[in-house]
Structure 1
Amino acid sequence: MSLGAEASRGISRFSKMIPNGYLIFEDESFLDSTVAKMNALRKSGQFCDVRLQVCGHELMAHRAVLACCSPYLFEIFNSDIEPHGVSHVTFEDLDPAAVEILLHYAYTAQLKADQELVKEVYSAAKKFKMDRVKQICGDYLISKMESQNAISFRNFASSMGDGRVLAIVDAYIQDHLLDVSEQDDFLKLPRLKLEVMLEDNLALPSNGRLYSKVLNWVQHSLWENGENLEQMMEEVQTLYYSADHKLVHGGLVIEGHTEVFGGEEDRLQFVQKKPPRESTQRQMSCSSSGSLSPSSQAPSAPKQSSRREWKYIASEKTTNNTHLCLAVLDGTLCVVFLHGRSSPQTSPSATPCLMKSMSFEAQPELLEQRLLAPMHYARSGLGAAALGGRLIAAGGYNREECLRTVECYDPELDRWTFIAPMRTPRARFQMAVLMGRLYVMGGSNGHSDELSCGETYDPLTDDWAQVPELRTNRCNAGVCSLDNQLYVVGGSDPCGQKGLKNCDAYDPVTKAWTNCAPLNTRRHQAAVCSLDGFVYVIGGAESWNCLNTVERYDPRIDTWTLIAPMNVARRGAGVAVHAGSLFVVGGFDGSHALRCVEVYEPARGEWRMLGSMTSARSNAGVALLGALVVAVGGFDGNDFLNSMELYDPATDRWSEDTDATG
């Protein structure tokens, strides 16, 4: 084809692109190329006219680009008195890495953030009024929500004022309250305890109106009587539920000062016993900390109370006449416990009487001749150990609180009695016997960060004494004794989210702690024991991912070595040593509490499954009593347990009675 012909063909083809004589051409690669070049200019600091100072970090950018993406920055730039100079904008409350992610998004339309940074990106997007990014981050958090993080997600959504995410999180909690209530975040929430005395064998109603009335009663207690929410939570609030469906504040009702909250149609009323205080005390305002302070200009109580969140979220009837409720009281996420009691003499806050009948002369074989009595308290996350032929169950939690109480099981009498309570309420810990004494270390008291304190029990004096504190606060650590040393292995970090590699040894003679070699894998809620000169750490979780891996520590060479993994990944399992083998019992696989049991025989170097328990149990107490493995307490996925069952290795059978042990 001649050059003229080719040119003619090109002109003809080009003419189809020129309607009405206008040149129209779209370069599909231009925008991508330009955006990439502008982002490169930003990173190199070329032609930048705005400097973002974020917690000591300086980030360069172009004013026009940021103004297009952020209404907040647009307002700042638009009011700049020197629009042609370099703007400086300072942020002291944002994460520099999160702001860099938003800058990258502004230039590339690509949002890339590690899971740990998503909340920080959300916070920065809220500040910059980048609503689309907020929505994407919120949707991502919702997709990652599970029982372990639902409370922290709700706290975050509440702090951000995101009603959409809050509604979704609250709906999830309503469907999974029992699972959520077992988590550390739930146990650390403030607690309001209401003890309700019941008349004529009445039962508390289990409908939602009950909790709306509770919120109404708390509201009026705060505003009409000048109560303080924190003070109300310091002790059990006693109420009386009468046969005519009235709920009266405990004590005598002062004549002439009785106020009834709630309509007759609800068949449930709260009667306030206290007289109203002076008007200057009744007018209160909310401080930023959530406490109440006087204010002469405060609006009336109903108007003021509406300024902070009051909301019933979810509830569950856990046992007969015991109710668990999650609610927001005056902007504070709280757990509300309602206990229905048939007699005023039984108080949930009362400390059981001390029974010093510790004669460690029991005969474990008599377990095979008697039924197994339940503990007085349902407990999960407890410490358990055999001492002098008896089973000791200490602390733990029961949805209501972490416990100080310690119970002792006498197999000869088939009876649980109380011995001296611990000095500190604690749960999520393990207990070990060393040189004839019980030792507990760390754990959680349900109200503050993980504990570093520990204590030891002397059976001769029936008393607990403090021991030197751990070097690291930790919860869910494993504890065992070996060669007259106490070993504390792994556990949760102070935020309760990641496992630790720490291993420490305590010498009861010198009362000193020494560091041991760290674990190969971070883990908390692992089962820990000693056997044949080694310390074993079994399963657990690295973050919230359950592990089946097992490590063994040789103190002679200060080294941890991985050995054969279990068949089932699990955290919150218990372990007992019998006849040269490790028996690992129950636990939680990330979805369900487990009944399954497996055994490790070091000579074979392998794990095999055994007969399952009669009840699923996570965070139960497990110990060897005589020739029998005993599991006590724990959480079965629905209820906290006070029951006990035993395993006979000779028959490979679990039983809650003696029929299978004959």
Structure 2
Amino acid sequence: SLVYNTFTVSFTKQPYHGAAGNVALLCLQLLRVKLRQQRASEHSAMMEGGMQLLNRDGHSISHNSKRHYHDSFVSMNRMRQRGLLCDIVLHVANKEIKAHKVVLASCSPYFHAMFTNEMSESRQTHVTLHDIDPQALEQLVQYAYTAEIVVGEGNVQTLLPAASLLQLNGVRDACCKFLLSQLDPSNCLGIRGFADTHSCSDLLKSAHKYVLQHFVEVSKTEEFMLLPLKQVLDLISSDNLNVPSEEEVYRAVLSWVKHDIDGRRQHVPRLMKCVRLPLLTRDFLMSNVDTELLVRHHSECKDLLIEALKYHLMPEQRGVLSNSRTRPRRCEGASPVLFAVGGGSLFAIHGDCEAYDTRTDRWHMVASMSTRRARVGVAAIGNKLYAVGGYDGTSDLATVESYDPVTNGWQPEVSMGTRRSCLGVAVLHGLLYAAGGYDGASCLNSAERYDPLTSTWTSIAAMSTRRRYVRVATLDGSLYAVGGYDSSSHLATVENSLASHINKSALVFISNTWTAIANITHDLVAMDGWLYAVGGNDGSSSLNSIEKYNPRSNKWVAASCMFTRRSSVGVAVLELLNFPPPSSPTLSVSSTSL
């Protein structure tokens, strides 16, 4: 028989019959329940002093106390505070700190090497430490016994180097985490320098990234004015500098020089080589740069100014003139955001706009245009979005407006020379090209380009074929006009115009791989390796659905729908650091639910 608490069950090889059999079965069931309860209790029930487990031999138990470590270290810390059984006294400045070698050596590789290797300190009871703050050392010794420490503004600058010296990496990481949480334009340069001094590579990288992302605010601080020349050059040379325009970099350089004009005047040429003068507007170059005495005083600066003016005055040569100073900056950490602008649905023409964040698969409403536009051309230049031409429900448009994501607002730009809806737009070498379209009376083969640096439109060579609903793209320094409709037939032709010979006649060719297509009511844009088809019309109504194509798997999949149904919509992509704008409505909805 097996005895378990108050239950006694006899096992027999005889089969169960009648009432006696029922009793035996009941007893077995009760035994199984009790055994399950015992196993569960052994794994989860904890007594104050620990866990007790019955060994298999039935003659011994294993005792595991979860409080033993805690209670022991609490007791050792009390003994340390009372000076009991201490075998080491640490001297730093005028302070003495008593401790136990075994405790210090167990948590600090620094002390472990000191007390266990054949060093003289291993046999001494008094050790003097240098290059460490007394208060920080006392806090770290306390941490060795308690595993607790408070990091704050008052101690982080002494605690981090002390923890680094003693190789207490947990405390060091906590200090870095605290400093990271305190990053601000007013202190990020100091924290970056502090991290560099103490070889905190992750904190250094994060602080440097913060400086680049908040350069405009940082450049106005006292810390920036006190930077050495090399660090200023490193910052303003970065492609990842986050600035709304190159004017901010130019102003930062002048402010830094004028903070100590006698000592820094000679550095102006080196600094100006890092300012991307060709990206400044012509008006700013003439009214600010050309009139600045610090610039006019150096012949090297005059050469840089001439280079910038040539870039403005000869837009057709920009491909040849391109160098590091003509390359737009792109902030590290910026993400692509798809904008859907205007469009129409049923009897409505839209002026509202929305933006799609691929990271969250959500749409956000942004500021509306000043004019309702369908059949509009949309393109991105730098960090601005341009809405070109279109149809407002009454007439075809020549007007243009631009969207600034920093201010979340639209501003009017210089109008085109020709009214155009159903046009094709593209950007090449910082110039916006508008080709073909419809002016309200006929299809167009004319084309023009816009220079945002000079705010001027210039007519260029016309296409050989009139095209509305044409799509224009750039590839390897060339413009391509694809397909469209010439008022009588759908086109399968493609026109190519080399940008370096933009005023010469265009080449027309037909490929057997192209087929005729119908009027395009949706728009296409590439982003993050996907091709997005936005809005459109299915033959009966306008769509708010989005599909994206993966060329690697050769499959289309649905993405979140827009707020508004839009056909003849314009789309483009901007690289943005901070998105969405504050308080913007959001929408995340499956396209299959509409």
TM over 0.5: no
- TM-score, normalised to structure 1, is 0.33
The structure with the largest strand share of the pair is: 1
Q: Which has the larger radius of gyration?
A: 2
The structure with the largest helix share of the pair is: 2
Q: Which one scores higher on RCO, CA 8 angstroms, separation ≥ 6?
A: 2
